[in-house]
Amino acid sequence: MLFKRTGRAGKAAHELPDTRGIIIFPSVEEALKGERTLKKEGHECKLVAPPPGLRQGCDLALEVQLIEQTALARALEGKVAYLGIYPLKGAAELLQIVKVVFFPQDVMVKAGNMKLVFAQNTGIIVNISGGGCPDVPYLYAQLVGRKLDEVERPRHKGFTLCALMLDRAWEEALAIWKGGRPT
């Protein structure tokens, strides 16, 4: 046979990606308020000085777990003013590239690792695929079978970066369905 079993590779001796993110605030007061708000909702966070490349507000920022970006943004929304949530290292911006595939009856919109499929004639979401965070199957159950313009947007229901990518796909799908994008 073509395949043979070989030994497993040893432990990686490579530098690890950084899973931390940072929230930048316009003032020290908002940063302190942000810390109280997030801790109250059970998020781990700590006050730090923003790294030079991300210094755009005050001299105090919050270090968080980046995977929780969607939930963190929702916890702060309307309560605390903040300038943005960013990864501490690596690509500074969330992937914004969207790819669209047309099928005879349906349209698939891909944003990052998430795909949302809707029926061209009704705008009903017929499938969601991709992703790996636990809110993906949850969002599937909430969104599939319902119209694009009648669902609560994914970033309002989900908690993770997968939910944020799905939100990006939903946004684009809605624009295509409403005629705002060439088909």
Partner 1 sequence: MERGKAHLILIAGTLPAENLGLIHGKVVRAGDSLRVKDFTFPCGQGTGAMISSALAVTSALGLEPPHALLAGDIGRGQGTRLLYQYLVEEVKNLKPQILALHYCLPIVRLMQKLCEVLERCQPRPWLIADAGAMYAAKAAGVAPQFDVFTPDPSEMAFLADPEASHPAYVSRHLFNSGVQDVPDLAKKAYSHGGAARILLVKGAIDYLVTEGRVVARIEEPNVPELECIGGTGDTITGMVVALTGAGWEPAEAAFLSARINRLAGKMAGVTPATPVAKLIDHIPGSLKELAKKEVLSV
Determine the interface stretch with partner 1 among 24-32, 72-80, 159-167, 171-179 (rule: CB under 8 A): 159-167
Residue from the set 3, 52, 179, 183 that interacts with partner 1 by CB under 8 A:
3
Instruction: Report the distance separating Cα 19 and Cα 46, nearest Å.
Output: 14
Instruction: Please identify, using beta-carbon distances, which residue of 60 and 109 lies nearer to partner 1.
Output: 109
What is the contact mask toward partner 1 in residues 20 to 59, using x (rule: CB under 8 A)?
A: ----------------------x-----------------
- The Cα–Cα gap between 141 and 147 comes to 13
Q: Which residue has the tokens 């969207």?
A: 98
Contact 118, 106 (CB under 8 A): yes
- Please report whether residue 106 would count as binding partner 1 according to CB under 8 A: yes
Among 34, 57, 123, 158, binds partner 1 (CB under 8 A): 158
Task: Indicate which single residue of 77, 129, 146, 178 sits in contact with partner 1 (rule: CB under 8 A).
Answer: 129
Asked whether position 12 contacts partner 1 by CB under 8 A, the answer is: yes
Binding flag, residue 183, partner 1 (CB under 8 A): no
The yes or no reply on residue 133 touching partner 1 (CB under 8 A) is yes
The two tokens of residue 62 are 């919050």
The answer to whether 63 and 22 have CB atoms below 8 angstroms apart is yes
Measured CA distances, 36 to 11, 20, 26, 30, 156 (Å)? 39, 19, 16, 10, 21
Instruction: Give the range of 23-31, 56-64, 76-84, 87-95 binding partner 1 by CB under 8 A.
Output: 87-95
Q: Which is nearer to partner 1, 2 or 149 (CB)?
A: 2
Helix (H), strand (E) counts: the chain: 5, 8
User: Which tokens is 3 given?
Assistant: 């395949």
**116: alpha, beta or left, given left = phi > 0 and alpha = psi -120 to 50?**
beta
Q: Which residues are near partner 1 by CB under 8 A?
A: 1-6, 8-19, 42, 66-67, 70-71, 87, 89-91, 94-95, 97, 101, 103, 105-106, 108, 110, 112-113, 115, 117, 119, 126-138, 140-141, 144, 158-165
